[in-house]
Amino acid sequence: MTEDMTVIYNDTCPICAREVAGYRRMTQDDAPGIVYAGLSRGDLDRFGLSPAQAARQFHVLHNGRMFRGVPAFALIWDRIPRLRWLARLVRLPVIAWIAGAVYDHILAPALFALHRRRERLGKAVHRG
Protein backbone atom coordinates (compact mmCIF):
# COMPACT_ATOMS: atom_id res chain seq x y z
CA MET A 1 0.00 0.00 0.00
CA THR A 2 1.37 3.40 -0.91
CA GLU A 3 0.37 6.61 0.74
CA ASP A 4 -1.28 9.07 -1.64
CA MET A 5 -3.34 11.09 0.82
CA THR A 6 -2.51 12.45 4.25
CA VAL A 7 -5.30 13.95 6.34
CA ILE A 8 -3.87 16.61 8.68
CA TYR A 9 -6.27 17.59 11.42
CA ASN A 10 -6.51 18.97 14.94
CA ASP A 11 -6.77 15.82 17.04
CA THR A 12 -6.88 17.95 20.21
CA CYS A 13 -10.27 19.33 19.11
CA PRO A 14 -13.06 17.00 20.27
CA ILE A 15 -15.28 17.92 17.31
CA CYS A 16 -12.50 17.52 14.73
CA ALA A 17 -11.20 14.30 16.29
CA ARG A 18 -14.70 12.75 16.33
CA GLU A 19 -15.33 13.68 12.70
CA VAL A 20 -11.98 12.35 11.50
CA ALA A 21 -12.44 9.17 13.55
CA GLY A 22 -15.60 8.63 11.52
CA TYR A 23 -13.70 9.18 8.27
CA ARG A 24 -11.02 6.77 9.45
CA ARG A 25 -13.64 4.09 10.19
CA MET A 26 -15.32 4.62 6.82
CA THR A 27 -12.05 4.46 4.88
CA GLN A 28 -10.11 1.77 6.73
CA ASP A 29 -11.27 -1.07 4.47
CA ASP A 30 -12.32 0.71 1.29
CA ALA A 31 -9.67 3.41 0.81
CA PRO A 32 -6.10 2.23 1.23
CA GLY A 33 -3.41 4.86 0.94
CA ILE A 34 -4.86 7.33 3.46
CA VAL A 35 -2.72 8.32 6.43
CA TYR A 36 -4.13 10.37 9.31
CA ALA A 37 -1.76 12.85 10.97
CA GLY A 38 -3.00 14.56 14.11
CA LEU A 39 -1.72 17.92 15.24
CA SER A 40 -0.55 16.52 18.59
CA ARG A 41 1.95 14.19 16.95
CA GLY A 42 4.23 17.14 16.24
CA ASP A 43 5.51 16.10 12.80
CA LEU A 44 3.91 19.03 11.01
CA ASP A 45 7.23 20.39 9.73
CA ARG A 46 7.29 17.72 7.06
CA PHE A 47 4.05 19.19 5.72
CA GLY A 48 5.26 22.78 5.88
CA LEU A 49 2.65 23.68 8.50
CA SER A 50 2.98 25.30 11.89
CA PRO A 51 0.84 23.96 14.74
CA ALA A 52 -1.37 27.08 14.48
CA GLN A 53 -1.86 26.63 10.72
CA ALA A 54 -2.75 22.96 11.21
CA ALA A 55 -5.20 23.83 13.99
CA ARG A 56 -6.76 26.68 12.02
CA GLN A 57 -8.08 24.54 9.13
CA PHE A 58 -8.50 20.98 7.91
CA HIS A 59 -5.72 20.00 5.49
CA VAL A 60 -5.21 17.13 3.07
CA LEU A 61 -1.95 16.44 1.27
CA HIS A 62 -2.86 14.60 -1.92
CA ASN A 63 -0.25 13.46 -4.44
CA GLY A 64 2.18 16.11 -3.24
CA ARG A 65 -0.30 19.01 -3.25
CA MET A 66 -1.77 20.62 -0.13
CA PHE A 67 -5.52 21.32 0.03
CA ARG A 68 -7.29 23.13 2.86
CA GLY A 69 -10.85 23.74 3.95
CA VAL A 70 -13.77 22.53 1.87
CA PRO A 71 -11.61 21.24 -1.03
CA ALA A 72 -9.73 19.10 1.51
CA PHE A 73 -12.99 17.70 2.89
CA ALA A 74 -14.17 16.97 -0.67
CA LEU A 75 -11.05 14.89 -1.34
CA ILE A 76 -11.70 12.60 1.59
CA TRP A 77 -15.45 12.49 0.93
CA ASP A 78 -14.59 11.23 -2.57
CA ARG A 79 -13.02 8.18 -0.94
CA ILE A 80 -16.13 7.36 1.10
CA PRO A 81 -18.85 5.82 -1.08
CA ARG A 82 -21.76 7.15 0.97
CA LEU A 83 -20.29 10.69 1.03
CA ARG A 84 -19.27 10.97 -2.63
CA TRP A 85 -22.47 12.88 -3.36
CA LEU A 86 -21.40 15.51 -0.84
CA ALA A 87 -17.99 15.89 -2.51
CA ARG A 88 -19.72 16.46 -5.84
CA LEU A 89 -22.18 18.91 -4.28
CA VAL A 90 -19.55 21.12 -2.62
CA ARG A 91 -17.66 21.32 -5.90
CA LEU A 92 -20.58 22.92 -7.76
CA PRO A 93 -19.62 26.58 -8.37
CA VAL A 94 -22.23 28.39 -6.28
CA ILE A 95 -22.23 25.73 -3.55
CA ALA A 96 -18.41 25.72 -3.48
CA TRP A 97 -18.39 29.47 -2.93
CA ILE A 98 -21.03 29.33 -0.16
CA ALA A 99 -19.50 26.29 1.57
CA GLY A 100 -16.03 27.81 1.37
CA ALA A 101 -17.22 31.12 2.81
CA VAL A 102 -19.09 29.43 5.68
CA TYR A 103 -16.16 27.17 6.53
CA ASP A 104 -13.42 29.79 6.08
CA HIS A 105 -15.18 32.69 7.81
CA ILE A 106 -17.44 31.03 10.40
CA LEU A 107 -16.74 27.38 11.20
CA ALA A 108 -12.94 27.23 11.02
CA PRO A 109 -12.44 30.47 13.02
CA ALA A 110 -14.93 29.30 15.66
CA LEU A 111 -13.21 25.93 16.04
CA PHE A 112 -9.80 27.62 16.15
CA ALA A 113 -11.03 30.00 18.87
CA LEU A 114 -12.20 26.99 20.90
CA HIS A 115 -8.80 25.35 20.33
CA ARG A 116 -6.97 28.43 21.61
CA ARG A 117 -9.30 28.58 24.62
CA ARG A 118 -8.62 24.91 25.43
CA GLU A 119 -4.88 25.60 25.15
CA ARG A 120 -5.10 28.63 27.50
CA LEU A 121 -7.19 26.68 30.01
CA GLY A 122 -4.79 23.75 29.83
CA LYS A 123 -1.82 26.01 30.51
CA ALA A 124 -3.64 27.67 33.41
CA VAL A 125 -4.41 24.28 34.95
CA HIS A 126 -0.77 23.18 34.65
CA ARG A 127 0.47 26.42 36.24
CA GLY A 128 -2.05 26.55 39.02
pLDDT tens per residue across span 10-62: 888 888 899 999 999 998 877 678 999 988 877 788 888 888 888 899 999 99
- Residue 53's domain comprises 5-127
Q: pLDDT class for 125, splitting at 50, 70, 90?
A: low
Per DSSP, what are the bridge partners of residue 25?
none
pLDDT of residue 52: 87
For residue 60, what are the CA distances in angstroms to 69, 70, 77, 80? 9, 10, 11, 15
pLDDT of residue 44: 83
Q: pLDDT class for 126, splitting at 50, 70, 90?
A: low
Rounded CA gap, 9 and 61, in Å? 11
Q: How many CB atoms lie within 10 A of CB 118?
A: 13
Domain tally, the chain? 1
Q: Where are the alpha helices (DSSP H) in 1-107?
A: 14-27, 51-56, 70-78, 84-90, 93-102
Report, in this order, helix, strand and coil percent for the chain, each rounded to 5.
65, 15, 25
pLDDT tens per residue across span 56-112: 999 999 999 999 999 999 999 999 999 999 999 999 999 999 999 999 999 999 999
What pTM does this model have? 0.87
